[in-house]
Amino acid sequence: QSVLTQPPSVSGAPGQRVAISCTGSSSDIGAGYDVHWYQQLPGTAPKLLIYGNSNRPSGVPDRFSGSKSGASASLAITGLQAEDEADYYCQSYDNNLSGPLFGGGTKLTVL
Partner 1 sequence: QLQLEGSGPGLVKPSETLSLTCTVSGGSVSRSNYYWGWIRQPPGKGLEWIGTIFYGGSAHYNPSLKSRVTISLDMSKTQFSLRLRSVTAADTAVYYCARHLPIDYGDYIDSWGQGTLVTVSS
Which of 36, 73, 84, 86 forms a contact with partner 1 (CB under 8 A)? 36
9 touches partner 1 by CB under 8 A: no
3-state percent helix, strand, coil for the chain, nearest multiple of 5: 5, 50, 45
| φ, ψ for residue 45, nearest 5 deg | -75, 155
Q: CA triplet 71, 77, 79: central angle to 5 degrees?
A: 160
Taking residues 75 to 104 in sequence order and writing x for each that binds partner 1 by CB under 8 A, - otherwise, the string is --------------x-xxx--xxxxxxxxx
Which of 15, 57, 70, 79 forms a contact with partner 1 (CB under 8 A)? 57
34 touches partner 1 by CB under 8 A: yes
User: For residues 15 and 32, which CB has a smaller minimum distance to partner 1 in the complex?
Assistant: 32
30 touches partner 1 by CB under 8 A: no
Residues 12 and 34: their CA atoms lie apart, in Å, by 27
| 14 exposure class (CB count in 10 Å sphere: 0-12, 13-18, 19+) | exposed
Residues that bind partner 1 (CB under 8 A): 3, 33-34, 36, 38, 45-48, 51-52, 57, 89, 91-93, 96-105
